Structure 1
Amino acid sequence: MSFPELYEFLRKSYFNHGAISCALFQLTPDALTSKLAEWPHVEGIFYEGQSVEELSEGIAKVLKGQVQVPPELALQLLKTLRRAPRQNQITPTLSRLSRREKQILVRIREGFSNLAIANMLFISEHTIKSHLYGAYRKIGVTTRLEASNWAMDNLLDDEDLWD
């Protein structure tokens, strides 16, 4: 399977079925592999040429619910994702978000798909998209990853959103 085919398969499975765990085998260590590792449901990445012992240990980890990625890829992902929390975004922007927008952003932060969020909140996927459109405008982001990062920085876990 080519990279574009694999990427499209993962994208469709994520948006249609939510967080389905998978492991990818026989990959090469390149920039495309690091893009695949960013997907929340990819639990294991195995490079071509890994020994039987490495594969066995890695598969055992994935089956136990752990993540298995080559150390150099893990380091690359950490360097990409590390950043200091942003300051002075919370007060004006957070107060403009509706309660439902906050609920959806929390679920985005947790890695759920639009369909999965819609099912959790008992509303349509179209309604989720409408709320996300409004939330993105209010918080000044354009991508799902930016919205997730914003939610990590600004939405507290103990906030009363689920009465």
Structure 2
Amino acid sequence: MRLRNTIVLAVLFILLGAYIYFFELQKEISKKTERLLSFKEEEVRDIILNYPEREIRLQRDAPGGWRIVHPLEAAADASAVSAILAALSASEVKRAFEEKPSQMDLQDYGLDKPEVRVLITLTNGGALPPILVGARTPVGNSVYVRRGVDGGVILTDASILGNLAERDLYNRLNKQLADFLEKEDK
């Protein structure tokens, strides 16, 4: 009788393990994280970064590099531009709320006067919805974002600010000495 009980318990344990594996764990794997924006870096043609005091426009160069076209004409640091695009494409939506925020709500989230507004144009002529980055959360590990001018308020990781909040134009310039020397020889 004890052997029979042991076999029954073993079968029940195996069935319970199979249930957990096939139904519960697969739900976790199948959950897809929603991205703030969905695009590939090579699809991007133009980036406009609107800050309260300045606008920076970046444009893809023919050989694959990037150029600053406003407020001055100069070669852009390709790694800085790639970091901006990587931050935007990798940002996940942690939480979405305030589907139709009022003006007071926008003030609470720092989205009435965003820190930066990002506009991306694709090579096919289409444009991604503008991203408005507002204030950090009280804890500071997340930031309030709005996708499009009519979108709701979204919470995403504050690391997005690391690349977008850099307002200094000098840090976006290409600083390779070889490029300067090559142009000087011409």
The TM-score normalised by the length of structure 2 is 0.26
Larger radius of gyration: 2
Higher helix content, 1 or 2: 1
